[in-house]
Structures are given as structure tokens and as C-alpha cells.
Structure 1
């Protein structure tokens, strides 16, 4: 999974639809995280 959060402003982040989308993505990731043997965080600062 690739997430690109660059360019998000605070007002976009707290927007209802954006928050719902983010929660949906994390929920989907929880379903597959145990099936991933390894992964990388790239530029996670």
C-alpha cells in the first residue's frame, strides 16, 4: 500500500469525507497486515 500525505493541509485533514476516507484505508490495511511478511517505510518523517 502506498500513502502519499504530502500537500494535505489541516483544513483538508479534518474535513469529514477526508477523515472517513483515511479511516477506511486504515481499516482495509488492518485486514491484510498479518499477511504481509515485510515492508518499508519510505521518507516517514
Structure 2
């Protein structure tokens, strides 16, 4: 059985798609993996 629920998740899907585009363009998954691997740049705390 297949059902359809029009206009129930339209805004959520659009928000998720926009979030994925932003994350991809800013390379957030790669940056998070870099930091989790311990490659955090060292700088003095001010």
C-alpha cells in the first residue's frame, strides 16, 4: 500500500535540503572529521 500526505512535510524537507546545501558548500562534515581526529589548531587563550 502506498499513501500520500500532501503538504505535511513540505517546509521541513525544504529546510533540510537548504541545510545540506550549506553544509556541503562550507565543507562542514570534513571540518568536523578534521577536528575529531585531533588536528585542532593550537592558539593561546586570551
Which TM class, normalised by the smaller chain length?
0.3 to 0.5
Q: What TM-score does the superposition give when structure 1 sets the normalisation length?
A: 0.45
More RCO (CA 8 Å, sep 6+): 1
Q: What TM-score does the superposition give when structure 2 sets the normalisation length?
A: 0.44
